């Protein structure tokens, strides 16, 4: 059977993470954050806090990635630390549900901004979105190097466009220090905690992607050295870009205008450059969304691939193309699910849930990110002999602080948005019936094989 090959270097790994993180969120989410906080300093501080939290998680999970550099990322780590059911629930949530839904959301954003240059009907937006998913899926079926090179080009281009938006905001007439007022809201500090936590969920949605390279850990050269460096370097780059671009939006628009804007990047660029500024923002979003989706398509398909290799999903999903050395069946299924979600994304009965997707995704993922940081602590005690080319900086403070924050995030969101929290929990637990059914099916198959005098099926134990 063909196997995945280690072909990705430090540049590839860093660009996969950076390119996945910088999507449409940074061009839209600052409005939601300003709506919660109503002042420029906390609006920027929330990006600092979100970046710091992401970096703590990155520093911790990098230890697991270096020690277990296999396809599947957190699925592999949680299975090793807590048992197969927890690995499966993560794989179900991320590989089977969340990532295809994220691909769909980003594809719709991409198609919507295509409409800036060529007006599209609702059906046209769907068709363009589905076509982009199909094109990226085929591209990544044709080889991991081709997908990585595409990611490198798109990521360098989007970094350049974000830097251009920052320079234009601060350098051209239209903005001013007076627009930053108010610097701080009048409400007492204690009353800001709840809104700050809600705004932080939106920021963390924009940072999501720092873990992406671990999904393709089995295809990274010298993973003990490259994985930790790529995770930390990519997170640091994105923190700097997000803080600066948000500051430039506030400098041009003011917090009040940011809160009232649904397309904050476009509105800020229009102030300084007019119609051509709006076009520049649209191009930046097109490149950002396409590059982010390419990164997710490339990496996320490795989760169901790894689950199938372990026998908790159909074995045919573990297939690797003998020539291209890519998990083609997993990529194709992921593409079909994402395309189906895209097609129903503008259905009015589903639109409200779709618009709150980032809340569901962040909450579900932070439960598992906290468990991953807990796995760093747990495996230090239960598997001391495990080879660790990289050990988490600041251990044990780093994973403990991240876990404490994750508990605050989930608890605060449960208080402020109980319906969204319940939906996120339901999303995770929905995989349990399928897991139990699949395990019983695998156990019966193993018993039948033993009864027939054959060896047990691989992965059926």
Please state, in angstroms and rounded to a whole number, the distance separating the CA atoms of residues 271 and 169: 9
Residue-wise pLDDT for 208-225, tens only, equals 888 888 888 888 888 888
Give yes or no for a contact between 211 and 73, defined as CB atoms under 8 angstroms apart.
yes
For residues 133 and 339, is the Cβ–Cβ distance under 8 A? yes
**What one-character-per-residue DSSP string does 245-290 give?**
HHHHHHHHH-HHHHHH-SSHHHHHHHHHHTHHHHHHHHHHHHHHHH
Name the residue ranges covered by the structural domains of the chain.
Answer: 10-430, 432-461
For residue 75 the two structure tokens come to 């699925």
What local confidence, expressed as pLDDT, does residue 354 receive? 43
How remote is the C-alpha of 144 from its chain's centroid?
A: 19
pLDDT value, residue 346: 53
Residue 392: count other Cβ atoms within 10 Å of its Cβ.
25
Query: Which tokens hold the place of 335?
Result: 């593409």
Helix (H, G, I), strand (E, B) or coil at 55: helix
Residue 278 — φ and ψ, nearest 5°? -60, -40
What is the structure's pLDDT at 348?
46
Q: Residues 436-453, buried b or exposed e (16+ Cβ, 10 A)?
A: eebbeebeeebeeeeeee
Position 321 scores a pLDDT of: 92
Residue pair 241/27 in contact by the 8 Å Cβ criterion: no
pLDDT band at 355 (very low <50, low <70, confident <90, very high): very low
Average pLDDT for residues 171-195, to the nearest whole number?
84
- Asked if residues 91 and 303 have their Cβ atoms less than 8 Å apart, the reply is yes
Least confident of 16-20, 43-47, 408-412: 408-412
**Taking 70 as the threshold, does the pLDDT of residue 454 lie above it?**
no
- Residue 255's closest CA among 51, 37, 25? 37
Range in 55-69, 168-182, 271-285, 422-436 with the lowest mean pLDDT: 422-436
Superfamily of domain 10-430: Amino acid/polyamine transporter I (1.20.1740.10)
Query: What is the pLDDT averaged over residues 115-138?
Result: 90
Between residues 71 and 329, the one the model is more confident about: 329
Least confident stretch, 134-138, 149-153, 203-207, 231-235 = 203-207
Q: Is the pLDDT of residue 241 over 90?
A: yes
The reply to whether the predicted model has a pTM over 0.75 is yes
Average pLDDT value for residue range 70-80: 91
* pLDDT beyond 70 at 360: no
């Amino acid at each position: 059977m063909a196997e995945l090959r280690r072909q990705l270097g430090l540049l590839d790994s860093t660009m996969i993470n950076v390119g996945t993180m910088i999507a449409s969120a940074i061009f839209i989410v600052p409005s939601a954050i300003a709506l919660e906080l109503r002042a420029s300093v906390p609006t920027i501080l929330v990006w600092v806090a979100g970046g710091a939290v992401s970096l703590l998680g990155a520093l911790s999970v990098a230890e697991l990635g270096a020690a277990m550099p296999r396809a599947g990322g957190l699925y592999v780590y949680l299975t090793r630390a807590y048992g197969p059911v927890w690995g499966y629930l993560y794989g179900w949530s991320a590989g089977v549900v969340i990532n295809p839904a994220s691909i769909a959301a980003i594809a719709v954003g991409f198609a919507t901004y295509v409409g800036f240059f060529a007006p599209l009907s609702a059906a046209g937006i769907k068709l363009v979105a589905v076509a982009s998913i199909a094109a990226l899926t085929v591209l990544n079926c044709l080889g991991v190097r081709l997908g990585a090179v595409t990611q490198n080009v798109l990521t360098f281009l989007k970094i350049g466009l974000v830097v251009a938006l920052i320079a234009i905001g601060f350098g051209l007439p239209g903005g001013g220090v007076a627009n930053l007022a108010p610097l701080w809201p009048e409400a007492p500090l204690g009353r800001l905690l709840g809104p700050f936590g809600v705004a932080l969920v939106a920021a963390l949605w924009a940072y999501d992607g720092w873990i992406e390279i671990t999904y393709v850990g089995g295809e990274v050269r010298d993973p003990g050295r490259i994985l930790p460096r790529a995770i930390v370097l990519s997170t640091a780059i994105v923190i700097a870009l997000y803080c600066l671009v948000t500051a430039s939006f506030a400098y041009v628009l003011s917090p009040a205008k940011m809160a009232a804007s649904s397309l904050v990047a476009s509105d800020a660029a229009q102030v300084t450059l007019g119609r051509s500024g709006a076009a520049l923002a649209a191009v930046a979003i097109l490149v950002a969304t396409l590059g982010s989706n390419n990164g997710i398509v490339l990496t996320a398909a490795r989760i169901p691939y790894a689950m199938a290799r372990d026998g908790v999903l159909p074995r045919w999903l573990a297939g690797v193309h003998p020539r291209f050395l890519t998990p083609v069946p997993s990529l194709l299924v992921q593409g079909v699910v994402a395309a189906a979600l895209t097609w129903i994304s503008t259905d009015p009965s589903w639109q409200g849930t779709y618009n709150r997707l980032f809340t569901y995704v962040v909450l579900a993922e932070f439960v598992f990110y906290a468990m991953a940081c807990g796995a760093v602590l747990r495996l230090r005690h239960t598997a001391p002999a495990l080879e660790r080319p990289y050990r988490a900086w600041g251990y044990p403070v780093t994973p403990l602080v991240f876990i404490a924050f994750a508990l605050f995030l989930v608890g605060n969101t449960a208080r402020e948005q109980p319906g969204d929290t319940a939906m996120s929990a339901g999303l995770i637990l929905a995989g349990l019936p399928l897991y139990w059914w699949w395990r019983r099916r695998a156990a019966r198959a193993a018993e039948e094989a033993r009864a027939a005098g054959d060896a047990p099926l691989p992965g059926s134990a």
